[in-house]
Amino acid sequence: MDHFLYRNGILHAEDVPLSDIAASVGTPFYVYSTATLERHFKLFEEALDGIDHTICFAMKSLSNQAVLTFLGKLGAGMDVVSGGEYARAIAAGVPGERIVFSGVGKTRQEMATALKGGIRQFNIESEPEMEALSEVATSLGVEAPVTVRVNPDVDAKTHEKISTGKKGDKFGIPISRASEAYARAAALPGIKVVGIDVHIGSQLTQLEPFEAAYLKVADLTHQLRSEGHEISRLDLGGGLGIPYERSNSAPPLPIEYGALIKRCVGDLGCEVEIEPGRLISGNAGLLVSSVIYVKDGDGTDFLIIDAAMNDLARPAMYGAHHDIVPVVEPAPGAEQRAFDIVGPICESGDTFAKARNMPAVGAGDLIAFRSAGAYGAVMASEYNSRPLIPEVLVKGDQFDVIRARPTFDEMIARDKVPEWI
C-alpha cells in the first residue's frame, strides 16, 4: 500500500497533484511520500512487537538526508555499507548506537571512523577483516562489537544478482566454518563478539528461504553458546520483497515475516535486528517523467521519455519490472496500445519496458514509474551527461525539493582541466 492515488483525475503524492510538482521542478524527478515511509517502518515495528528489536533501515536503498532524518526521528537505526553512508547517517542525527556496519570490504579507515564516531556493531564477513578490525580497535584503545555474518548456503530464490546467501557468493563466512571463525574472533584483542548476522538476498517473495536461514542461525546460536560465546544479538538482514507488478504479485507481509522470526528465533533470548530497505522505501517513491515523442516503428511503437537508464537503472540492470501509469487518470475502459517505453540514451539497453500496454498518451504527457523509491535515485549516474534528477519529499499538502537538479554549469565545474593541456 502507498499514498499515490488518483484524485480528481490526477495522480497525487499524498495531497499534492504530481502535475504541480512537475510544473515546479520540471521532469524527470523522484518523489517520496513520508506517509508511506512511516507506514512501512511501523509495519515492521508492529511485526516485531513483543520481542526486543531494532530496525536498521538499509540506507543503500534510499539515502537522501531528508529521508534518513525522517526515519531517524521515528526511531530507525541504519544499516550502512560504506564510510559515506556512515557519514550520512550521523549527519542525519542517527546515534552511533543505532548504526550497524555491513559489507565485505570495509577499509581500516572506515572502521576507525565508525569506532570514533560510535557504532552498534560491525557485521564481519571474513577472517582478514576480523584481524584488520582487531588492529584498528586496539590502536584506538577501544573494543569493537561484532557479529560474524554467516553464509548459510540457502537459495533465496530471487534474481541471481541480488542473491547473497548461497555457497560461492562473496558474502559471509561459510556457516560450516562458523565455529572456527568465532573462536578466532574471541581470541583477538579489541574484538567483542555480540551475536550472529545473516542476510540471504533481496526482493524475496517467499518466506521459506528466510525460514531455512533463520533455523540454521538458531542452531548456530545454541552451538556457539555451548562453545562459550556470548550470543545476545541476531541480525537477520533485510530482503523482504515488494509487489512490483500489482496485478499479479503478493509477497508475504511484514506481519507474516515477523511471526516467522518469532517462531524461528523468538525463544533464544536474543535481541533481534533487521535491515529492511526496499520494503520501507520502494513503494514510497515514484519516478515521474514526460513523454518526449511517440514514435511509430516497424512493428514496434515507442514512447520516448525524458527519464533514462541513468536515472533508474533497475530495468536495464536486472530486467526489473516497474508498473508505469499515466499521471492523468485514463477513462474507465480506455483503449490501450502496446509500446516499448525507452529513454533517450544511445544504447538499446535503455529500455524500461517492452510491449507495455498503455492508455493513449502523447508528447508532453506525464507518466509515473511505481515502486521506484528503493534503488532508484541511489543507483543513478550522469551517463550521457544527464545531470542527476531532483528528489522531492511530500508530507500531506506540502512538498519540498530535497535534492536539486544540478545545472549543466555545476556539472561541468566538477571537472578540472589541467593547465598543462
| Residues contributing to the site for ligand LLP (CB under 6 A) | 58, 61, 79, 102, 162, 199, 202-203, 237-239, 275-279, 314, 318, 374-375
Helix (H, G, I), strand (E, B) or coil at 1: coil
Q: Which amino acid is it at 8?
A: N
Strands in 320-397 per DSSP E: 324-326, 336-342, 351-359, 366-369, 391-395
Query: Are 204 and 239 within 8 A, CB to CB?
Result: yes
CB of 240 to ligand LLP, least distance (A): 6
CB of 415 to ligand LLP, least distance (A): 27
C-alpha span between 243 and 374 (Å, rounded)? 13
CB of 79 to ligand LLP, least distance (A): 5
Query: Across-strand partners of 342?
Result: 304, 351
- Of 173 and 304, CB closest to ligand LLP: 173
Query: Are 240 and 203 within 8 A, CB to CB?
Result: no
Helix pair angle (127-140, 178-187), 10° resolution: 20
DSSP 8-state secondary structure symbol assigned to residue 375: S
CB of 26 to ligand LLP, least distance (A): 25
CB of 121 to ligand LLP, least distance (A): 13
- Of 238 and 258, CB closest to ligand LLP: 238
- Of 203 and 221, CB closest to ligand LLP: 203
CB of 229 to ligand LLP, least distance (A): 22
C-alpha cell at 279: 520494503
- How are strands ordered across the β-sheet holding 16-17? 6-7, 10-13, 16-17
- Of 106 and 199, CB closest to ligand LLP: 199
Q: How many CA atoms lie within 13 A of 111 on its CB side?
A: 28
Query: Nearest CA to 162 among 326, 314, 351, 339?
Result: 314
- Of 206 and 407, CB closest to ligand LLP: 206
C-alpha span between 298 and 19 (Å, rounded)? 33
C-alpha span between 104 and 4 (Å, rounded)? 37
DSSP 8-state secondary structure symbol assigned to residue 7: E
- Of 166 and 225, CB closest to ligand LLP: 166
C-alpha cell at 295: 514514435
- Of 269 and 349, CB closest to ligand LLP: 349
CB of 81 to ligand LLP, least distance (A): 7
C-alpha span between 31 and 24 (Å, rounded)? 13
- Of 58 and 99, CB closest to ligand LLP: 58
Query: Are 115 and 146 within 8 A, CB to CB?
Result: no
CB of 203 to ligand LLP, least distance (A): 6
Which helix (H) or strand (E) element contains residue 121? strand 121-124
C-alpha span between 311 and 369 (Å, rounded)? 12
CB of 159 to ligand LLP, least distance (A): 7
- How many beta carbons lie within 10 A of that of residue 161, not counting itself? 11
For the annotated catalytic residues, the residue numbers are 346
Helix pair angle (83-91, 65-73), 10° resolution: 60
- Of 10 and 162, CB closest to ligand LLP: 162
Output the CA torsion sign for 87, 91, 97, 103. negative
C-alpha span between 265 and 214 (Å, rounded)? 7
